[in-house]
Structure 1
Amino acid sequence: MFFSIIIPLYNRPQEIDELLATLTQQTYNQFEVLVIEDGSVKDAKEIVASYQDQLDVKYFFKPNEGQGFSRNFGFERAKGDYFVIFDSDCLIPSDYLEIVSKYLFEHQLDAYGGPDAAHESFTPVQKAISYAMTSPFTTGGIRGNKKHIGQFHPRSFNMGVSRAVYEKVGGFVLTRLGEDIEYSIRIHENGFKIGLIPDAKVYHKRRTSFSQFYKQLHFFGRARINIYKHFPSTLKLVHFFPSFATLGMILTLLLNVFYTPLAYICNLLVLLYFMLIFFHSWQLNKSIKIAFLSVIASFIQLTAYGLGFIQDFWKRVIFKQS
Structure 2
Amino acid sequence: MFFSVIIPVFNRPQEIHELLNSLLAQEEKDFEVIIIEDGSEFTCSHIVEEFQELLNVRYLFIANVGQGFARNYGMKQAFGNYFVLFDSDCIIPSSYFSLLKSAIIDRKLDAFGGPDAAGHDFSDFQKAMNYSMTSVFTTGGIRGKLKDPSKYQARGYNMGLSKEAFECSEGFVDPNKGEDIELSIRLKKLGYKLELVEEAFVYHKRKNTIWNFFKQSFSFGQNRINVSRYHPEAIKLIHLMPAFFLVFECSLLLMLLVYPYTNVFFIIGMLIFAIWKTSIFVHASVVNTSIKIGILSIITSIGQLSAYGLGMITEGVKKIIKG
- TM-score per shorter chain, which class? over 0.9
- 1:226 aligns to 2:229 (yes or no): no
Name the counterpart of 1:249.
249
Please show how residues 5-84 of structure 1 align to structure 2 within 5 Å: 5-84=5-84
CA deviation vs aligned residue, 1:62-103 (integer Å, no higher than 9, x gap) = 000100000000010000010000000000001111111111
CA distance in 2, matches of 1:75, 1:101: 19
Judging changes above 3 Å, is the alpha-carbon distance between structure 1 residues 193 and 34 closer, same or farther for their aligned structure 2 residues? same
- Name the SS of the counterpart of 1:319 in structure 2: helix
**1:274 alignment counterpart:** 277
State whether residues 141 and 147 of structure 1, in contact with CA within 8 Å, keep that contact through their aligned partners in structure 2.
no
Structure 1 runs, 4 residues or longer, greater than 2 Å off: 146-151
Change (3 A) 1:149 1:312: farther
Partner amino acid, structure 2, of 1:264: I
Structure 1's unaligned 5+ residue stretches are none
Q: What does 1:110-189 align with in structure 2 at a 5 Å threshold?
A: 110-147=110-147, 151-189=151-189
Q: Report how far residue 146 of structure 1 moved.
A: 3.7
Give the drift of 1:57.
0.2
Distance 1:148 1:253 in 2: 38
Say if 1:149 and 1:24 are closer, same or farther in 2 by CA, change over 3 A.
closer
Q: CA deviation at 1:243?
A: 0.5
Amino acid of the residue matched to residue 298 of structure 1? S
Cα offset, 1:148, TM superposition: 7.0
The separation in 2 between residues aligned to 1:143 and 1:60, in whole angstroms, is 31
The question of whether the paired residues in 1 share the 8 Å contact of 2:116 and 2:201 is answered with yes
- Contact map agreement 1:140 1:148 (CA 8 A) in 2: no
Distance 1:147 1:119 in 2: 24
Q: Would the aligned equivalents of 1:142 and 1:148 in 2 still touch at CA under 8 Å?
A: no
Q: Letter of the 1:239 partner, please give it.
A: H
1:113-171 CA-to-partner distances (Å, cap 9, x unmatched) read 11100001110000000000001110152221243799211111000101110121111
Cα distance in 1 for partners of 2:106, 2:271 equals 49
Measured after TM superposition, the shift of residue 252 of structure 1 is 0.2
Structure 1 window deviating more from structure 2 (254-263 vs 283-292): it is: 254-263
Residue 148 to residue 42, structure 1, CA distance change in 2 (3 Å): farther
- Any conservation in 1 of the 2:285–2:294 contact (CA below 8 Å)? yes
Distance 1:148 1:246, change over 3 A: farther
Contact 2:150 2:194 in 1 (8 A): no
Opposite residue 62 of structure 1, the aligned amino acid is: I
Quote the sequence identity (%).
47
Contact 1:2 1:31 in 2 (8 A): yes
Query: Aligned AA for 1:252?
Result: L
Separation in 1, partners of 2:133, 2:43: 29
Judge conservation of contact 2:172–2:179 (CA < 8 Å) in 1: yes
C-alpha distance in structure 2 between counterparts of 1:239 and 1:198, whole Å: 21
The separation in 2 between residues aligned to 1:310 and 1:166, in whole angstroms, is 32
Aligned equivalents of 1:150, 1:264: Cα separation in 2: 41
Change (3 A) 1:13 1:55: same
> Which residue of 2 is the match for residue 4 of structure 1?
4
TM-score, normalised to structure 1's length?
0.97
Q: Does the CA contact (< 8 Å) of 2:218 and 2:308 recur in 1?
A: yes
Match of 2:304 among 287, 295, 301: 301
Identify the range of structure 1 (244-253 vs 142-151) with the bigger mean alpha-carbon deviation: 142-151
Quick one: which of 315, 318, 321 aligns to 1:319?
321
Instruction: Provide the residue aligned with 2:202 in structure 1.
Output: 202
Aligned-partner residue type, residue 98 of structure 1: S
How many residues align? The count is: 320
Distance in structure 2 (CA, Å) of the matches to 1:320 and 1:225: 13
Distance 1:149 1:26, change over 3 A: closer
Indicate the SS of the match to 2:105: helix
Q: Which amino acid aligns with 2:289?
A: K
When normalised by structure 2's length, the TM-score is: 0.96
